[in-house]
Amino acid sequence: MSAHHTEKSTNSQSTKGPSATHMLARAGVFTIYKKAGETLAGLVARFRKEQSFDESLPITYAGRLDPMAEGLVILLTGEACKQKEEYLGLDKTYTFEVLFGVATDTFDMLGLITETKEMNPTAEQIEKAIEQVKRVTTFSYPPFSSKPVDGVPLFIHAKAGTLPDTLPTLNGKIYTSILQNTAIRPVKELVGNSIEIMQKVEGDFRQEEIIKGWEKFLENNKDKKCVVATFEATVSSGVYVRTIATLIGEALGGVALAYSIKRTKVGDFFL
């Protein structure tokens, strides 16, 4: 846990990793573990209930985390909400898995499949690809992200079919990206695990349509296996792990997506 916190009791336990809420040295600054499949709105509601905070108390999150992702989120309450920009700019560390051979419109599993390609990259080839990707300093925002264009988030444009011809970009840096391991995993396992998480997601994320797409993919590939690579990376604020995954696939001459994402550190705050 962060070296800057004091323990605060909670009755909640995550099924993956620590879920206890912690109150940091600075008043109104908390770290909390977001579960895979939990939305940020759901996280805030759970946090408010666990801490018995009145509905009138302002609560905001300093940095987004996708519904399929899990890990560390910083929550600010009361007057600390005014410090949000200070926390948004912090570097972040992730452990994430990249699934090769499949692409979606969201760059992760909670998306409609847009392309498939036979891929069996070796660890050596993946190492070379990530070294190439680490040199990238300008990143396009994913079509399904909260970046506003003409006052409307990109994900709204994506759903409405009004995405700009050129996606907005941000300047960022991949400080480190280490390939931890590679594995060959059954498609049945990969898809089954992801659908289980998708079914937990609340709100309109096109879940029904997306799950049907993955079920069809599974039907056509039920006996196949895919290469999955696990990475740990530290990146500057604003760099999307989903985008890194797609860039690794492109560097290998194919397609890839972020199969799982776990945020382990934000600035000096860590799990």
Type of residue at 123: A
Q: What is the pLDDT of residue 257?
A: 98
Question: What are the structure tokens assigned to 144, written together?
Answer: 């399904």
**Using CA atoms, how far apart are residues 83 and 239, in angstroms rounded to an integer?**
21
Q: What is the pLDDT of residue 143?
A: 95
Q: What is the pLDDT of residue 224?
A: 97
Average pLDDT, the chain: 91
pLDDT of 24 > 50? The answer is no
Supply the DSSP symbol for 105.
T
**Using CA atoms, how far apart are residues 26 and 144, in angstroms rounded to an integer?**
34
CA distances (Å), origin 153, targets 64, 66, 128, 149: 14, 15, 34, 6
Q: H-type helices in 70-116, by residue range?
A: 84-88
Instruction: Please give the biggest Cα pair distance in the chain.
Output: 55
**Using CA atoms, how far apart are residues 72 and 263, in angstroms rounded to an integer?**
5
Lowest mean pLDDT among 4-18, 44-58, 159-173, 189-203: 4-18
Q: Which one, of 75, 8, 10, lies nearest residue 42 by Cα?
A: 75
Q: How confident is the model at residue 25 (pLDDT cuts 50, 70, 90)?
A: very low
pLDDT of 27 > 90? The answer is no
pTM for this predicted structure: 0.89
Type of residue at 63: G
Q: What is the pLDDT of residue 210?
A: 98
Type of residue at 84: K
**Using CA atoms, how far apart are residues 13 and 104, in angstroms rounded to an integer?**
32
Q: How confident is the model at residue 60 (pLDDT cuts 50, 70, 90)?
A: very high
**Using CA atoms, how far apart are residues 262 and 66, in angstroms rounded to an integer?**
10
Give the whole-number percent of the chain exceeding pLDDT 90.
89
Q: What is the pLDDT of residues 182-217, one digit of tens each?
A: 999 999 999 999 999 999 999 999 999 999 999 999
What lies within 8 Å, CB to CB, of 19 at 6+ separation is 10, 12, 13, 32, 33, 35
**258 forms bridges with which residues in the sheet?**
98, 108
Question: What are the structure tokens assigned to 166, written together?
Answer: 């050129």
Q: What is the pLDDT of residues 149-163, one digit of tens each?
A: 999 999 999 999 999
Q: What is the pLDDT of residue 188?
A: 97
Q: What is the pLDDT of residue 8?
A: 34
Q: Which helix (H) or strand (E) holds 269?
A: strand 269-270
Q: What is the pLDDT of residue 26?
A: 52
**Using CA atoms, how far apart are residues 196 and 262, in angstroms rounded to an integer?**
17
List Cβ<8 Å contacts ≥24 apart for 161-169. 167/140, 167/141, 167/143, 168/140, 168/141, 169/138, 169/139, 169/140, 169/141
pLDDT of 112 > 90? The answer is yes
Q: What is the mean pLDDT of residues 250-255?
A: 98
**Using CA atoms, how far apart are residues 124 and 109, in angstroms rounded to an integer?**
25
Q: What is the pLDDT of residues 71-94, one digit of tens each?
A: 999 999 999 999 999 999 999 999
SS3 content of the chain, % helix, strand, coil (to 5): 30, 30, 40
